[in-house]
Amino acid sequence: MVSSGAAEARPDPRASALMSIGEVLSALRAEFPDATISKLRFLEAEGLVEPQRSASGYRKYTAADVERLRFVLTAQREHYLPLRVIREQLAAADRGAPPVVRPRPALASVDGRPAAPDRADRATLLQRCGLAERVLRQLEADGLVVPGPGGWYDADALAVAQAAAELGRYGIEPRHLRAYRAAADREVGLYAQLVTPLLRQADPSARARADEVVRELLALSARLHAALVRTGLRSTLGR
């Protein structure tokens, strides 16, 4: 017969499934190389995840917590969503609504060369976007698409190329997009002034806060731009 003292000492099988913050970081790092412990702590402080605490105060994460973090990091990296929007989506998911964020397909090389999850070679970019070589050369000449080291294109370059290709179907040519480049450069200068003071702080979570400020600014900028264009087109549309 097992004594009551022995029964009390028996480990809880649920506790063995819990992960430390270091183990969670190791589990996420392959998919999210920029993830840090400071980032995970920041997301907790923002109420995106609520890990349990051990008797000694250490964070303990469940498998559901890790999936929640993966959802948040995917929404930030692949959809540039600010935490305010992600928090709303998580709340909806907690109420039983289907998830909104879906991971985008990994970029890959069409000729078999190894590629990182978020980069593609020139042939892949042209194939994915349906761009002509001459159009890509023009986009590059205007600074709209910029290849990285080794000639690889990252996910943002692919996004620009795809948008340019789709706009091209409406007769909008690369030369028409130079104004977007100029406007983006002005926003870069403005936003850099806002986030640089954050990056100078000694707080380990300062980088995560700066990233979040940029995401929020981008979301607000997109809303402002869309509203201004809609307003400008009202007379054309007879509204």
Span 161-210, pLDDT tens digits: 999 999 999 999 999 999 999 999 999 999 999 999 988 888 878 888 89
Strand (E) or helix (H) holding 104: none
- Percent of residues, the chain, with pLDDT higher than 90: 49
pLDDT given at position 101: 58
Q: Is residue 4 predicted with pLDDT exceeding 90? A: no
pLDDT bucket at 239, cuts 50 / 70 / 90: confident
User: Could you tell me if 120 and 158 are in contact, meaning their C-beta atoms sit under 8 angstroms apart?
Assistant: yes
Q: How large is the average pLDDT for residues 43-67?
A: 92
Q: Is residue 10 predicted with pLDDT exceeding 50? A: no
pLDDT given at position 189: 94
pLDDT given at position 142: 93
- The tens digit of pLDDT for each residue in 70-112 reads 999 998 888 878 888 899 999 888 888 776 655 444 444 444 4
Q: Is residue 234 predicted with pLDDT exceeding 60? A: yes
Q: How large is the average pLDDT for residues 117-145?
A: 90
| Residue partners of 207: CB distance under 8 A and separation at least 6 | 36, 38, 39, 199
pLDDT given at position 118: 64
CA dihedral 151, 156, 162, 165 (to 10 degrees): -70
pLDDT given at position 77: 83
* Diameter over CA atoms, the chain: 86
Strand (E) or helix (H) holding 55: none
- Percent of residues, the chain, with pLDDT higher than 70: 85
pLDDT given at position 16: 52
Q: How large is the average pLDDT for residues 134-148?
A: 94
User: Cα dist. 46→40, 50, 172, 208, 209 in Å?
Assistant: 10, 10, 41, 11, 10
pTM of this prediction? Answer: 0.66
